[in-house]
Amino acid sequence: MIDNLMFASVNLPILDKEQAAKEILAIDEKFRFWDPYRGIGMISLMTKNGQAGKMASDNRINQGEFTWVESTPKIVSDWFDDVVFPWTGNRARIMALLTMPGAENNEHIDCDRSELNTMQHKFRIVLQGKTSTLYFITNDGNIRPPDIEGAFVMDGGWPHGMNNTTSEIKVTLAMGAPWNGKNDYGDDLTTHLYRNNYSMPDVLEQYWKI
């Protein structure tokens, strides 16, 4: 069942990850900003009206069509335009997530309290680093997905965190709202972790605090 998905690999052609990561990291640092909620560096790549920066990434306060930010590498925009958006069915906010070597992301939930236990699928691809540094928090301890090469879909409505144990900056491309999943993925997904095999922590309020 679609709503039972916690982590699944996606059967889509992938871009040249090494080149894409190199070009993401070469973007002028003035375009980077810090997200205190997740404890992570970010670069806006697609926003409403194509504006850069932290405020531009907030869909709630910005209007207009989703457009590529001028500094977005062509290798990234081409892949989303030609491969990802035809699959997802719509454009959405695209961010580059940057985590320094040895750094941790805050444990958090990627949805509002009112959206808990609804479909909150997030599309991701790790360009540099490992997918297994991500973990989901359960009543029986943390569980980690396998290392995969391609894109994946994860349940952002489950509390999770990440600790970058590698010696490189972890670079992840992330597609967010308004996309929150598909009603039918067909044979395009291979599910590795299922929600019904685990229980959420009894207390969740801490995961919405900065």
Chain segment 133-182, per-residue pLDDT in tens: 999 999 999 999 999 999 999 999 999 999 999 999 999 999 988 999 99
Which whole number is the average pLDDT over 20-44? 94
CA–CA separation, 172 and 140 (whole Å): 27
Give the predicted TM-score (pTM) of the model: 0.94
Pick from 209, 112, 195, 115: which is nearest to 153 by CA?
Answer: 195
Q: What are the φ/ψ torsions at residue 93 (nearest 5 degrees)?
A: -65, 135
* CATH of span 2-208: 2.60.120.10
d(CA 101, CA 9): 24
Residue 148 in contact with residue 131, Cβ under 8 Å?
A: yes
How big is the chain by its Cα radius of gyration, in Å?
16
Domain-wise residue ranges, the chain: 2-208
Q: Any idea which residue has 């335009």 for tokens?
A: 81
The values of phi and psi at residue 65, to 5°, are -90, 150
- For position 2, what pLDDT does the model report? 67
Q: pLDDT band for position 56 (50/70/90)? A: low
Instruction: Report how far residue 102's alpha carbon sits from residue 133's, in angstroms, rounded to the nearest whole number.
Output: 11
N- to C-terminal Cα separation, the chain: 33
